[in-house]
Chain A
C-alpha cells in the first residue's frame, strides 16, 4: 500500500482532507480526556504546560502594570506642562517611598487578615499569591503560586481576607488553579446566619452570586450574612460567603431568589490562603445506616 501523501494539486482539490482528519482527532481528544483519570497523559500534558507558563502570567501582570498606570495617569492630564515638570521633580522620590511603604503595609495587613481568617475557624493554611487571572471569558479561575510541593491538594477550600473565595480544582508542582465562587460551575451549600435558612449559593456567567432554594417562609433582608453550611462535604461549615444584596420572589416560584454580594472583591485579589486541614462538618451529613441483615457478600 503506497504511503499517504497529499500533493499540492490534491491539496487544492481536496482542502477538506485535513479538516476531516483534525475534526475526528479533536473528537478523539475530547473523548479520551473525559475518559482518562487525573493521572492520564492529557491531564499530565495540561499540568506540564500550566507549570511551565505559570511564571508567564505573573510576568504579564508585571509587564502590564505601566499600561494600567498610564491609563490612570491620563486622567490627570489637566495639569499644565510646567506644573507637571515641577511636580514630577518634587514628587519622584516621595512617590517611590510611598509606594514602597504602601506595598509593605498592604502585604503585611493582607497576610495578617488572611492568617486571622484561617485561624478564626481553627484551620491551618498555606498563603499564596495570585499569579494568573482568568484567561478565558467562559470561566472564573485564577492561578496561585502554591502547589503540590506545599501540600496543596485538589478540592481544598480557598479563603480571601474577608471570606470564602473558591476551591482548588487543579494542582501542579508549583501552582494551583482556584475556581472562584462566582464561577458558573461553582455551587456551595449555604445558609443565612440569622435564621439558618438553607440554600445553594451559585455563581453565574456574569459573575453574580445567587442563593437559590431558600424557602418562601424564611425572612430575608438585605445585609444578612450568607455562610457555608458544610453540607455536601466540600466546604467546611461557617465560612463567610457574602451579604444579601437583593431579595426577589419570582411568580409561580417555590423559592426565593437572593442576590449575594461576595465578601471578597474578586477583581482585587492578590493573596489567598488555602485551607489544608479543613474537613467538612460531617455532623450534619446523613449517617449511613448499618446493615442488619445476615446476608453477607453477594456477587
Chain B
C-alpha cells in the first residue's frame, strides 16, 4: 500500500512524466493537429483510483502545467482540470466495478467534459472561434485520441497511483447480515 508520502511522490512523478510527454512527444504524434492530453490522463486516473480530493489537487497541478505551456490566458486549464478531476473522483466513488471498460468509459466522458468546459471558458475569455467547428474538429478528436492513450496506460498508471491495493477476493457477508454461510 502506498503511504501518503509515496502517493504524493508517485503523483508528482506521473505529472512530470506526463508534462515531458506533452512537450516532447505530443507534438510529434499529432494527427491533423490533434494531440493526446497526457496530463488529463494522469488527472483522471488519479481521480478514478483515489477519489475526488486527489483528483482535484492533481487536476489543478496538471492544469497549471498546461497553462504554463500555452500562450493565452493563464488559469483556464487549471480551473477546468480541477473541476473534471473532482467529477471523475465522484464517479469513482459511485463505481464498484473492476476491469478496464467502465474506467475507460468514465475517462472518455471526463475527457469530453474537460474539452467542452475548456472550450467554453476560452470562448468566454475572448478566443475567436466557432464553437461547433472547435467541438467537432478539435475537442471530439482529442477526446478519442486521449482515450486511446488512456486505454494503453491505464493498467500501469492506475497501479502506480492507487492508494489501496485492488480487492481481488470476494468479500463474505458477516454473520448476522444474512450471509450464505450463517
| A contact set with B: CB distance below 8 Å | 11, 15-19, 22-23, 25-30, 33-34, 42, 45-46, 49-50, 53, 56-57, 59-61, 63-64, 67-68, 132-141, 169-170, 177, 179, 184-185, 204-207
Contact = CB atoms under 8 A, between A and B. Distances in A.
Contacts of B35: 135-137
Contact of A137 (B53, B57, B74, B142): B142
Given A30-B79, A30-B125, A139-B70, A15 B86 contact: yes
Interface residues of B, number: 49
Nearest to A177: B71
B126 to A, nearest CB: 10
Interface of B: 20, 22-30, 33-35, 51-53, 56-57, 60, 63, 66-76, 78-79, 82-83, 86, 89-90, 122, 125, 127-130, 133-134, 137-138, 142
B33 A140 contact: yes
A15 to B, nearest CB: 4
A42 B72 contact: no
23 contacts: A15-B89, A15-B90, A19-B52, A19-B82, A19-B83, A22-B82, A30-B79, A49-B68, A53-B69, A60-B23, A60-B27, A61-B27, A132-B23, A134-B27, A134-B30, A135-B27, A137-B34, A137-B142, A138-B122, A138-B127, A139-B71, A184-B129, A205-B137
A16 to B, nearest CB: 7
B27 A29 contact: no
SS of B interface (majority): helix
Contacts of B57: 18, 22
